Amino acid sequence: MTDGSLKIETGARYILVNRYLERIADHAVNIGMRVVYMVTGDWLPRERAADRAKRIPK
């Protein structure tokens, strides 16, 4: 393999790992929301990251 193709393959693997980690994080959020519902009986609204960023004081 040439050096360039090795970098492309490594980059593609990093992209896949990132996608899988994001999916795991989404599942963790879903589990957390279900646990809150089981304990309190209330569904929490799902916040978008952009909305959370607006609430952070600068």
Domain ranges of the chain: 3-43
Measure the CA–CA gap between 3 and 35, rounded to whole angstroms. 48
Average pLDDT on 38-49 reads: 83
Q: Which one has a higher pLDDT value, 10 or 6?
A: 10
pLDDT of residue 56: 75
Q: How many CA atoms lie less than 13 Å away from 55 in the CB half-sphere? A: 6
pLDDT of residue 2: 66
Structure confidence at residue 45 as a pLDDT band (50, 70, 90): confident
Position 1 pLDDT exceeds 60 = no
Measure the CA–CA gap between 20 and 14, rounded to whole angstroms. 10
Percent of the chain with pLDDT strictly greater than 90: 59
Q: Which one has a higher pLDDT value, 2 or 46?
A: 46
